[in-house]
């Protein structure tokens, strides 16, 4: 496979997964806004945290300065100046998919193209109304999540298991691992106001919102059969192999996809070794050790390792 084709398939999956994550982050933030807070609570803390979670705070601040709900939602959804806005993610995904149209099944291309066409309809509605109402915004976020599910399902059910499929899966799980880690870190490091108690009602509802953001609220109760506790949420999203958005699940899938690529081309390199090392580290970890060493430090190290793996994959397969 040409390096350019591999690159397009890799980034197609990353952009579709990123759009889904941003939509879920906005939904979770809207829920957090309705939570009761103390007199010192900053009502814009949640939107600052949402921007941090998707890595867009610095670019937002350069354009808007003060964080407000309307400006943050606009920046995360339709702002063309934000490279990671939902609008841009879906545009970039379609551009990558169109460039490798012959490497995709008809169902996969239809899922991507239908998402793009629906995006244009939402953009037209927004231009006519100046801004989306809460109901229209909820409909838009539901559409983005459905578009991602349709794309993922089409890939899984119709693509031939060859190098094109493996590059697609590598991109998806690399992005998903990064997103889960950032969401965990933002909750633990930024969300809870200084005057609030860890384990208090606000802390509890924030963790519930995080679980809902990754569609894990029901899974949590199935696995632990207990009230929501921070260390159990972290355990589910870091070390639970049966949770599709956990770090260990993503890296198990990454490791297998990279091994499949190595078998296909007869070469195993730095990318395979790095993925295996991170997976081994996760398999050896326990939540007791992670919390003793600091969840923020653990997640920060993971995000950096995930970034190094992305660079290794690009260099090994000549994306750059």
Residues 182-241: pLDDT tens digits? 988 876 655 444 444 444 555 677 788 888 888 888 999 999 998 888 888 889 999 999
Q: Which residues contact 215 (CB under 8 A, 6 or more apart)?
A: 24, 245
pLDDT per position as a tens digit, 62-112: 999 888 889 999 999 999 999 999 999 999 999 999 999 999 999 999 999
pLDDT per position as a tens digit, 129-182: 777 788 889 999 999 999 999 999 999 999 999 999 999 999 999 999 999 999
Instruction: Tell me the whole-structure pTM to 2 decimals.
Output: 0.90
- Domain positions in the chain are 3-316
> How far is it, in rounded angstroms, from Cα 30 to Cα 43?
11
pLDDT per position as a tens digit, 243-255: 999 999 999 999 9
């Amino acid at each position: 496979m040409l390096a350019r084709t591999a690159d397009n398939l890799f980034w197609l999956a990353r952009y579709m997964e990123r759009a889904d994550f941003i939509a879920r982050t906005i939904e979770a933030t809207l829920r957090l806004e309705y939570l009761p807070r103390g007199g010192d609570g900053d009502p814009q803390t949640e939107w600052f945290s949402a921007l941090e979670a998707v890595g867009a705070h610095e670019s937002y601040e350069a354009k808007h300065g003060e964080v407000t709900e309307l400006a943050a939602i606009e920046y995360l959804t339709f702002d063309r100046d934000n490279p990671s806005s939902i609008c841009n993610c879906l545009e970039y995904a379609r551009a990558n998919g169109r460039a490798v149209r012959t490497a995709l099944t008809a169902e996969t291309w239809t899922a991507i193209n239908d998402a793009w066409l629906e995006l244009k309809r939402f953009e037209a509605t927004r231009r006519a109304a100046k801004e989306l109402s809460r109901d229209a915004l909820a409909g838009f976020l539901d559409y983005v999540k459905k578009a991602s599910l349709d794309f993922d399902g089409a890939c899984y059910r119709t693509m031939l298991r060859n190098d094109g499929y493996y590059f697609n899966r590598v991109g998806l799980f690399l992005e998903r691992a990064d997103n889960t880690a950032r969401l965990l870190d933002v909750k633990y490091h930024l969300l809870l106001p200084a005057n609030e108690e860890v384990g208090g009602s606000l802390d509890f509802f924030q963790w519930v919102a995080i679980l809902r953001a990754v569609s894990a609220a029901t899974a949590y109760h199935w696995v632990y059969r207990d009230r929501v506790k921070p260390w159990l949420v972290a355990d589910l999203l870091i070390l639970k192999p049966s949770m599709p958005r956990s770090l260990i699940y993503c890296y198990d899938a990454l490791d297998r996809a990279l091994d499949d690529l190595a078998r296909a081309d007869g070469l195993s390199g730095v990318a395979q070794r790095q993925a295996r090392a991170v997976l081994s580290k996760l398999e050896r970890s326990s939540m007791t050790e992670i919390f003793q060493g600091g969840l923020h430090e653990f997640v920060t190290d993971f995000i950096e390792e995930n970034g190094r793996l992305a660079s290794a994959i690009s260099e090994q397969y000549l994306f750059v």
